[in-house]
Amino acid sequence: MTENLYVHGYSEREKERLEDQANTLTELLHHDTVYPPGSRVLEAGCGVGAQTVTLAAKSPDAQITSIDISAESLAAAQARIIQAGFTNVAFQQANIFDLPFETESFDHLFLCFVLEHLPNPDEALDALQKMIKPGGTITVIEGDHGSTYFHPQNSYAAQCVQCLVYLQAQMGGDSQIGRRLFPLLKEAGFQDVQVSPRMVYVDSSKPDLVEGFTKNTFTAMVEGVREKALEQGLMDPRAWEQGIRGLYRAAEEDGVFCYTFFKGMGVKE
């Protein structure tokens, strides 16, 4: 994996967005992400550590090794872990396709929002599964932009979302990979594969989700590709602004926003 495959970029605003996303979705995505004391966990593609803090907090007696290809992201992740006061995480710069570990040296593998950015997620899973001991587990969490719907409907807003889908595909990724987790894990040889949808439903009775997800996670993510979308002529500036207003409209008193994540788990024989 190379850094330039990350469609959202590495700005300070993107770091804030990732933190908002992690904080908002902790219970939905991670209520069942717990590793036993003494187990060795590999977090592949930790980024700025937005998910690492949750892993460390929920499994304080597990030993977590978090890797990423970006030295800058690793520095941010390490600072976040130190600030949170956790001591059960070690960071290492590494490429998923060229891992510096002995085979079968980890009990568990965790990936969150990583496969969507790779042109070859099947090869990534093949490389990573070699790191897991027999009987160990994999946990993968991915979104699916095709699951987005909202009220009031707005065709320009839908076009903005499709711009993100297109641009990520252009870079070799798949922002709709959530629906593919089951076959990907099966093809990688994992057993007892289970995939569960985790829907985020937001209306004005859930103000934390309105701010944390509809505005600061999803709409901010779409806004982040504005320059690329306009440069390529995918939309004109006026239509783009109408679309972004349409997404924010779903965060108003009578608005509704829905999105589905998928969490896949499997066992290595």
pLDDT in tens, 189-234: 999 999 999 999 999 999 999 999 999 999 999 999 999 999 999 9
Print the domain residue range for 115.
7-267
Residue 16, number of CB atoms within 10 A of its CB: 14
Q: Residue 100, SS3?
A: coil
Query: Is residue 34 in some structural domain?
Result: yes
Q: What is the pLDDT of residue 129?
A: 97
Query: Is residue 1 in some structural domain?
Result: no
Query: Is residue 33 in some structural domain?
Result: yes
Query: Is residue 253 in some structural domain?
Result: yes
Are the beta carbons of 40 and 107 closer than 8 angstroms?
yes
Q: Residue 49, SS3?
A: coil
Q: What is the pLDDT of residue 164?
A: 96
CATH number (domain holding residue 224): 3.40.50.150
- How confident is the prediction for the chain on average, in pLDDT? 93
What Å distances lie between residue 257 and 26, 160, 190, 220, 250, CA to CA?
Answer: 18, 15, 34, 14, 6
d(CA 92, CA 84): 19
Share of the chain above pLDDT 70, in %: 91
Taking the alpha carbons of 172, 109, 92, 64 in that order, is the dihedral positive or negative? positive
Query: Is residue 2 in some structural domain?
Result: no
Query: Is residue 130 in some structural domain?
Result: yes
Q: How many residues does the chain have?
A: 269
The structural domain count of the chain equals 1
Q: What is the pLDDT of residue 8?
A: 46
Q: Which two tokens stand for residue 140?
A: 């993968």
d(CA 197, CA 10): 28
What tens digit of pLDDT does each residue of 104-123 get? 999 999 999 999 999 999 99
Residue holding tokens 């987790």?
181
User: Could you tell me the pTM of the whole model?
Assistant: 0.91
Query: Is residue 207 in some structural domain?
Result: yes
Confidence band of 153 (pLDDT split at 50, 70, 90): very high
Query: Is residue 177 in some structural domain?
Result: yes
Q: What is the pLDDT of residue 24?
A: 78
Number of H helices, E strands in the chain: 10, 8
What Å distances lie between residue 108 and 35, 47, 134, CA to CA?
Answer: 8, 18, 10
Residue 39, number of CB atoms within 10 A of its CB: 17
